[in-house]
Structure 1
């Protein structure tokens, strides 16, 4: 049994990680300021004797120090996501994603945390056109968000070399699944389309729909966090890994599958029209990961393809939103 701090633990990914590690018998501390996370994501955990909720902001260094005290591992998920959000407000994205990240690294160093596993991003690949994306070949960032996530990797590498902290970055590729928020201006495309289709509203695809993504189901992400946290392979630490399926799906195909799966519950969804709008600033055209490094060094084996994950996600949303 380990003491694990999960920052952003009330969010989509963080709360799923809390569930997983509580079920495995670990003691969990969740640090969240509820800027984007939700208390209802933690409803079943709040009464658990091995779960502690700490409300606070990673932009406050003292809060980070308190949260890290006595922890064996940190799973750092807290961040302001969304490329469009960072384009609209780069200052706040930088303060949270860079300043907050540095506060957490310093706190982990000062409290002798065993390992710091953090959410990196596929946005780091930027304008690199090579496919599949391989960890050591990146381009120039295309958004303020991408800059912040790349800076995280640089800081982690420097702290590993300078202070001896074990750091592992997980470059998430378009994660989706249960608890991903369908509401708000910066909702991710899959939950946003789900709620629109359930309301018989026409979703709008940015561009022609030919852009492609390596959509990654939440259970694959949980597995990668667990393997990164617990690996005893010395070659596997102080590096970054693609966290993905290793395949790609166009936005058009994603929308088609969503309509197909949702139509099983509501046949009227078949008739809902898909609309098209302008390309968003900062969007990467195509994304497909090589997962070879994670397979070789961490023993990663994705449990869900895009289609199987999407079907599970649709079933979850239907149960929650019907």
Structure 2
């Protein structure tokens, strides 16, 4: 697994070791070894410090493997807006390296983490299905994920790969280090009287508990038939809430009073941010999976987990 010490990767490692022997790699630029340290006592888990930009390293790691879960990526939309090389190197070239290492080692099944960012800015009020198009991302991150999807399906067609592609909504929960919940916790720790919300607060999105996300990935894998070259699944929830609602949940969970909410950055907040994103999850539900938590409950659970990191309680 690439990105094995990251947010979703570390949670996925904890789940996969019940069914698989797992080798997790991470360059620890954003992931943390402490997220998976407790797993290293197991004989069926190995952690290696390495980078997907190092093709020689990848080719050695891939030997004898059956499946690659490719989660390593640069996922900071605001940062890539300022540094346009980030997503090109980490996401596009990194994914090409992973695919090439698989090809040379005859590993033919990849599980790829994509993003709802591939859909871009969509005005429709209907949940977006996997066959929605045309796909017009508005961030370099979304563009890189869409390019990666194209590379993955091309390798399926050209070299006999099979692939599961998961388009994630906003995932929240244990080991999270980026995103709206972390942003709000960081700001409120610095100043518990004022909370700055980027955008007008009306951005409407789904928030998915990381446990639901991981279970969805497992259900998709179990139902996948390698007779089909690839499948694309959305992973999200059945509802959505606004940024201002997220702010209120965080404030309430921290039991703060008289917090003033200020908005900054216009209607969008930052370049590349989509104002609305609601995914249809009907296709993945057909495998037997369903999210346990609503967007509101997912955010509440994330705050209860992460406040120990930021507030020590």
Q: Could you state the TM-score of these two structures normalised by the residue count of structure 2?
A: 0.92
Unaligned runs of 5+ in 2: none
Contact map agreement 2:235 2:281 (CA 8 A) in 1: yes
What does residue 66 of structure 1 align with?
60
* Distance in 2 (alpha carbons) for counterparts of 1:237 and 1:223: 22
Q: Quick check: 73-82 or 219-228, which moved more?
A: 219-228
Question: Is residue 318 from structure 1 mapped to residue 307 from structure 2 by the alignment?
Answer: yes
Task: Show CA shifts across 1:173-217 (max 9, x none).
Answer: 111101101xxxxx3111121233345153321121011111111
SS in 2 for 1:137: coil
178, 190, 195: which one aligns with 1:203: 195
The count of aligned residue pairs is 305
Who is 2:280 aligned against? 290
Matched with 1:41 is 35
Cα contact 1:10–1:37 (8 A) shared by 2 = yes
CA contact (8 A) 1:30 1:54 kept: yes
**Quick one: distance in 1 between partners of 2:260 and 2:106?**
55
- Does 2:20 align with 1:15? no
Match of 1:180 in 2: 176
Partner of 1:7, secondary structure, is coil
Shift of 1:107: 1.6
RMSD: 1.7
| CA distances 1:266-298 after superposition (whole Å, capped 9, x unpaired) | xxx1222222101211111101011111122x3
**1:157-172 correspondence runs (5 A):** 157-172=153-168
> Are residue 254 (structure 1) and residue 239 (structure 2) matched?
no
* CA pair 38-291 structure 1, distance change in 2 beyond 3 A: same
Q: TM-score with structure 1 length normalisation?
A: 0.89
Given that residues 216 and 306 in structure 1 are in contact (C-alpha distance below 8 angstroms), is that contact kept between their aligned partners in structure 2?
yes
**In structure 1, C-alpha distance between the alignment counterparts of 2:20 and 2:155, rounded to whole Å:** 26
Mapped partners of 1:300, 1:115: distance in 2: 21
* Structure 1: distance between partners of 2:297 and 2:185: 16
* Corresponding position of 1:239: 231
What SS class does the counterpart of residue 68 from structure 2 fall into?
Answer: strand
Give how far 1:316 is off: 1.3
Aligned twin of 1:275: 262
Q: Which has the higher contact order (CA 8 A, sep 6+)?
A: 2
- Gap regions ≥5 residues in structure 1: 1-5, 182-186, 264-268
Q: Deviations over 1:79-117 (max 9, x none)?
A: 000211211111122111000101111222222324200
Give the drift of 1:231. Answer: 2.3
Does residue 83 in structure 1 map to residue 70 in structure 2?
no
Kept in 2, the 8 Å contact 1:157–1:239? The answer is no
Q: Distance in 2 between matches of 1:237 and 1:251?
A: 38
Other-structure match for 1:27: 21
